[in-house]
Amino acid sequence: AKHFHRGKTVLFATELADAARDRMQLLSRLRVAFSSERLTLHFQPFIRLHDGAAMGAECLLRWQTAEGQHIPPDHFIPLAEQSGMIVALGDWVIRTALRWRAGLIGRVDDTFRVAINVSLVQLIEDNFVANILHYIHTQGLQGYHVEIELTESMAAHDINSVIQKLKQMREHGISIAIDDFGTGYSSLSILSSLPIDRLKIDRSFVSGDAANQPHFGIAHTVIELATNLQMHTIAEGIETESQRDTLRQNGCLEGQGYLFSRPLDEAQFNQWLAQQ
């Protein structure tokens, strides 16, 4: 029995070492992929629920390896954050997203927003705000063309410096959305002190048969909360008409999800726009 037990322990240690090695390998592959331009952005439109108008699109990173394998961002973004690589990668995302939005001028309403996911690691860099304002200007865009999506994890950090940066961006018209709202730990008091335009209702509160699910009560509560705080709401992960209708009836303004469109590459997005 003792022998067996020791065998287990050794196996466990080996598995840990394997996992660490796998992460290192993935990170070095990510570096190569980034420098050899194997990363792309896809775009998923979001819709005004009461009339179906396209209000903007969220940019989502895609990594397709030379062998054709798709590696989901949930796998590599955390690695990029831990290693600090997200600063360069996120900077590329911003520049690429803004260039894409600039290319849409005249083909979408002027209020069409490009929504960019930003990690806290990026945001706390000294030059973050100056850089994004510079890129917006360079592309001939205005701040109101841009929305920043942040998760609630930012509440854990140096909240005052985060608030300063958000305020600065908002003074230039950039809007701020809290992503995956309801899944993090932010307290209500922090929420009311943050300069935020929009709460993005996490898809875990949207999924299933909306009207009959207890978790939909959370979606409803988030919409009321946002209304009371004079913020807007957008629901993610809308897959069915019943989910859309229930959200709309509860006062949710905008939505995003497979019901309207999957994330699309640039050419597919152009086709989608042409059909609107």
The residue (of 56 and 263) whose beta carbon lies closer to ligand C2E is: 263
Q: Is 125 in the site for ligand C2E (CB under 6 A)?
A: no
The residue (of 15 and 266) whose beta carbon lies closer to ligand C2E is: 266
Q: Is 152 in the site for Ca ion (CB under 5 A)?
A: no
Q: Is 261 in the site for Ca ion (CB under 5 A)?
A: no
> What is the CB neighbour count within 10 angstroms for residue 179?
23
**What distance in Å separates the CA atoms of residue 222 and residue 124, rounded to the nearest whole number?**
27
The residue (of 31 and 221) whose beta carbon lies closer to Ca ion is: 221
What does the DSSP 8-state code read for residue 164? H
CB 45 within 8 A of CB 56: yes
Straight-line distance from the first to the last Cα atom of the chain, in angstroms, rounded to the nearest whole number: 68
Q: Is 263 in the site for ligand C2E (CB under 6 A)?
A: yes
Burial class (CB in 10 A: 0-12, 13-18, 19+), 109: exposed
Q: 169 vs 100, 143, 159, 247, CA distance in Å?
A: 20, 8, 15, 29
Q: Is 257 in the site for ligand C2E (CB under 6 A)?
A: yes
* Minimum gap (Å) between residue 107 Cβ and Ca ion: 23
Q: Return the residue of 258, 265, 266, 276 that touches ligand C2E, per CB under 6 A.
A: 258
Taking residues 199 to 228 in sequence order and writing x for each that binds Ca ion by CB under 5 A, - otherwise, the string is: ------------------------------
Paired strand residues for 56: 46, 113
Q: 46 vs 29, 35, 157, CA distance in Å?
A: 32, 30, 29
| Binding partner of residue 72 among ligand C2E, Ca ion, none, CB cut-off 5 to 8 Å per kind | ligand C2E
Structure tokens at 133: 């304002």
| Binding partner of residue 91 among Ca ion, ligand C2E, none, CB cut-off 5 to 8 Å per kind | none
Between helix 159-171 and helix 128-138 the angle, nearest 10°, is 20
231: helix, strand or coil = coil
Structure tokens at 160: 């005052």
Q: Is 184 in the site for ligand C2E (CB under 6 A)?
A: no
**What distance in Å separates the CA atoms of residue 138 and residue 47, rounded to the nearest whole number?**
28
Q: Is 208 in the site for ligand C2E (CB under 6 A)?
A: no
Q: Is 197 in the site for ligand C2E (CB under 6 A)?
A: no
Q: Return the residue of 132, 155, 165, 179 that touches ligand C2E, per CB under 6 A.
A: 179
The residue (of 8 and 157) whose beta carbon lies closer to ligand C2E is: 157
Q: Is 152 in the site for ligand C2E (CB under 6 A)?
A: no
| Binding partner of residue 237 among Ca ion, ligand C2E, none, CB cut-off 5 to 8 Å per kind | ligand C2E
- For the segment 86-105, give every residue that binds ligand C2E (CB under 6 A): 90, 93
**What distance in Å separates the CA atoms of residue 62 and residue 199, rounded to the nearest whole number?**
24
Paired strand residues for 150: 178
Residues lying near ligand C2E in the complex (CB under 6 A) are found at: 44, 59-61, 72-74, 77, 90, 93, 117, 119, 179-180, 203, 236-239, 256-258, 263
Residues lying near Ca ion in the complex (CB under 5 A) are found at: 117, 149, 179-180, 236
